[in-house]
Amino acid sequence: MNAGKLLSYIILAIVVIAFVVSIALKGFLVTVGAFLTLFIFSFLYKDNPYYKFAEHLFVGASAAYWMSMGFWKTMVPNLFGKLYPPMVAWAVPALKNNPAQPLMLIPLVLGILLLMRLSSKAGWISRWALAFIVGTTAGLNLVRYLRSDFIQQINNTVFSLYVTNASGFDLGATISNVIIFGGVICGLIYFFFSKEHKGAFGAGARTGIIVLMITFGASFGYTVMARISLLVGRMQFLFGDWLGMIR
Amino acid sequence: MNIFEKMVGLDRRWVFLFLFVVVTGAYFFRNSFSVNVTTTREVRSIYDFVENLDPGSKILISFDYDPSSLAELHPMSRAILMQCFRKGVRVIGVTLSQYGAGMVEEAFRKFGSEADSLYNTHVEYGKDYCFIGYRPYPGFVILGMGENFRIFFPRDYYDTPLDDLPIMQGVRNYDDIEGVIAITSGTTADMWVIYGNARYNMPLALGVTGVMATDYYPYLGNAIFGLIGGWKGAAEYEKLIGEKDAATAGMPAQVAAHLTIVLFILIGNIGFLLSRRSKKTGN
């Protein structure tokens, strides 16, 4: 037996002993949660079988949960419960008195057509269902996106560059508006490629890059905060709920 | 290899270890130093919105996140719910995340009983709050609730018909509530903006993860009236309601982590510049 193999057995023995002791002291669920957290953290050192185990367990459990939620929250109440309520009344008594809706045959057929993708010969039929999905979604999104991401955004950039309030000139709001207005204009100039970025236009484009860099920096700062929040959350669990070292 | 090259080629595992030690230390000794959290207008506007509602008013809170974002978003959920319970504002809860239902149900019960013990209230299910559960396809659910809550949610999470809940009496759609606060960790925030606000024009505020926050600032003032970004936003909200909880407790660790990362960025860049200079000079 080589040294590497011996070390893996020693680590496995330590993990098993710690797991059993922890179950006895802290209970099963907290112990499982704590060990899975440590297994995932172990990836920071390097890829290993403990990490793989936790990762696969997570993927499998998530997929199963998602499937069962999809069945009981979508298929049963929205399809079977409306198409022929007595079919699912044994499982969901609340649906028993619902009237049958034959129109639900349409989504049923579309759903079956979508599953035709699994067949190499009849796969083309699924395009009908896909066309319905794409058409509906595109139609819904077009108008709404135009309003929220285009018209409202333009509206938000059209404001006074000289702001006054009850006490007179508002320096802070004026500076804020000038920065927003200038930032938007310079950002747009940077993405305008039909004219060479030279002279005053080039200066605007370079300012646009600076604005973009500041935006990326702010995003990075927020991302660090988000990740540290998750780390602290896990630490609260490990040191608090599991080890009882912090309250 | 000179010291500058060593600085640039530092094994990332040392960075992880150092960061872990710093964050752990800062969290353990969080009571030894405090971080002054200043409140921002975007967070204050949500607080003011709830604070200015009359007792008995109804709002919809959508908890569109799952346990993977719990650590980051639960503090703001707690802060908003506590303010609502204290004020007597009634909350209709919903989740558009398939993994969120159990977590939200537990949160309502936990924060409800916390409010009872802290404010001497008697938060009651069905009267002060309700949880109508989860339905898939967020965009369609948001559109459906704009017509009638009962289209997608004929019954609540506990299988009680919505019409049997006192809180839902007289509530048909967004027109019958004061506004929506969506606490989300994914693209559902976009859907609230494009399907909820752009279609039905109801007052909308967002609570989002730190990663998402900068993406939603452009909507401030038009599509959304307030924005809570990550733990900093949650800590601001805790300060506004006068209760220091998880987000405030985590701020020293946040500051320590940010300073550590800035330090490593400086070390890496100084190392890079000096090693480049030493290569140019041939030393």
Reported ipTM:
0.86
Contact A156, B218 (CB under 8 A): yes
Q: What is the mean pLDDT of chain B?
A: 92
DSSP code at position A149: I
Average pLDDT of span A144-153:
86
A246 reaches B (C-beta below 8 A): yes
Tell me the pLDDT band of B79, cut-offs 50, 70 and 90: very high
Q: Establish if B210 touches chain A: CB-CB under 8 angstroms.
A: yes
- pLDDT by residue (tens digit) across A66-91? 899 888 888 888 889 889 888 888 88
Confidence band, pLDDT 50/70/90 cuts, at residue B163: very high
Q: Is the pLDDT of residue B38 over 80?
A: yes
> Nearest-CA residue of chain B relative to A233?
B71
**Could you state, in order of their start, the residue ranges of all structural domains in chain B?**
3-31+252-281, 41-244
Angle between helix B230-241 and helix A199-235 axes, rounded to 10 deg: 70
Write out chain A residues lying below 8 Å of B71, CB-based.
Answer: 229-230, 232-234, 236
Nearest to B23 among A74, A141, A232 (CB): A232
pLDDT beyond 70 at A121: yes
Whether the CB of B187 is below 8 Å from some CB of chain A: the reply is no
Cβ–Cβ contact A234 with B under 8 A: yes
User: How would you label B141-171 residue by residue, b for 16+ Cβ within 10 Å and e otherwise?
Assistant: bbbbbbeebbebbbbbbeebebeebebbeeb
pLDDT confidence tier of residue B7, bands split at 50, 70 and 90: confident
pLDDT tens readout for residues B93-144: 999 998 899 999 999 999 999 999 999 999 999 999 999 999 888 999 999 9
Place of tokens 């890059």: A209
Size of interface A-B (CB pairs under 8 A): 121
Look up residue B38 and give its DSSP letter.
Answer: P
Look at B261 and A224 and tell me if their CB atoms are within 8 Å.
Answer: yes
Pairing relation of β-strands B129-134 and B90-95?
Answer: parallel
Mean pLDDT over A34-59 rounds to: 94
Show Cβ contacts of residue A136 under 8 Å, excluding neighbours closer than 6 positions.
none
* Nearest-neighbour CA in chain A from B128: distance (Å): 25
Rounded CA-CA distance A182/A176 in Å is 10
**A226 to B99: CB separation less than 8 angstroms, yes or no:** no
A7 vs A39, which has greater pLDDT? Answer: A39
Which residues have a Cβ under 8 Å from the Cβ of A9 and sit 6 or more positions away?
none
Cα dihedral across residues B63, B65, B70, B76: positive or negative: negative
Burial, B77: exposed, middle or buried (Cβ in 10 Å; 0-12, 13-18, 19+)? buried
Q: What's the Cα-to-Cα distance from B31 to each of A227, A242, B28, B186, rounded to whole Å?
A: 22, 21, 8, 33
Q: Distance between CA A157 and CA B168 in Å, rounded?
A: 39
Out of 1.10.287, 3.40.50, 2.60.120, 2.60.40, the CATH code matching B41-244 is 3.40.50
Q: Does A220 touch chain B (CB under 8 A)?
A: no
